[in-house]
């Protein structure tokens, strides 16, 4: 299995806040590239993640992933 190309860091935007694993499914939209980064744990022990997303308003010439 080949992995999709990783876009340059300036192509992704960080969503504000930190998210629990079960909240990630509510954020995902089709035809977007996501990067999830471990961001520690909540005081109740639940893992938290920072989420980076490819903006929807990019033109194909700006590097939008196919």
pLDDT in tens, 20-57: 999 988 888 887 888 888 999 999 999 999 999 887 76
Question: How is the chain split into domains, by residue range?
Answer: 9-57
pLDDT value at residue 32: 80
End-to-end CA distance of the chain: 17
pTM listed for this prediction: 0.69
DSSP states of 4-51: PPPPPGGG-EEPSS-EEGGGHHHH--TT--EEEEEEEE-TTS-EEEEE
């Amino acid at each position: 299995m080949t992995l999709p190309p990783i876009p340059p860091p300036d192509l992704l935007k960080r969503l504000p806040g930190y998210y629990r694993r079960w909240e990630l499914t509510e954020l995902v939209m089709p035809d977007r590239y996501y990067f999830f980064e471990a961001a520690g744990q909540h005081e109740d022990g639940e893992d938290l993640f920072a989420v980076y997303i490819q903006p929807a308003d990019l033109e194909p010439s700006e590097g939008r992933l196919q």
